[in-house]
Amino acid sequence: MKIEKIDHVHIYVKDLEKAIQRFEDLLGVKFGQVMTEGLEELGVKGAFAPPGLDVSQPTSPDSPVAKVIARMGEGLVGGVSFKVEDIEAGIAELQSKGMRLLDRLEIGGLKEAWFHPKDAHGVLIELCQYQADNALEAVQQST
């Protein structure tokens, strides 16, 4: 597996709109639209901001993100996403090394795969693949 770069970090928050406003003010970044499509099953909504912030708010009290916030508080960096050339090869390699695949997602031109944090010292590892300049642009591409 060839990792191209650390692509983005996931930050778990209780109030997505407040977090977006605060990070835009603090860091001068600009988030794309709030995304819910494709995320309903995961019980979250989220937004991306280049150069690599992905802020997520639970929409269900039973979602994994809600459980992490309840246990550890908000503002937690919940995971790290690595951009790879070939997500299928990356998934196969990590699984061969004992990592458990939690879920996959494809939105627009972005493909993602998440692996269980318990298999990496409590860190959710995510692989992503896209052809755009960044993950936000990839999400906005039509498939």
11 and 76 in contact (C-beta within 8 Å)?
yes
Which residue, 114, 140, 141, is CA-closest to 32?
Answer: 140
Closest CA to 75 of 136, 139, 18: 18
136 or 73: which leads in pLDDT: 73
Residue 76 has pLDDT above 70, yes or no: yes
Neighbours of 109 (CB within 10 A): 17
Question: Is domain 3-140 in CATH 3.30.70.20, yes or no?
Answer: no
Please state, rounded to an integer, the average pLDDT across all residues of the chain.
92
Across 33-37, 81-85, 98-102, least confident range: 33-37
pLDDT for residue 142 = 65
pLDDT value at residue 40: 77
Residue 126 has pLDDT above 80, yes or no: yes
The reported pTM is 0.86
Measured CA to CA, the distance from residue 16 to residue 47 in angstroms comes to 8
The answer on pLDDT for 59 being more than 60 is yes
Measure the CA–CA gap between 79 and 99, rounded to whole angstroms: 14
pLDDT band at 23 (very low <50, low <70, confident <90, very high): very high
* CA angle, residues 127, 122, 67, in degrees to nearest 5: 95
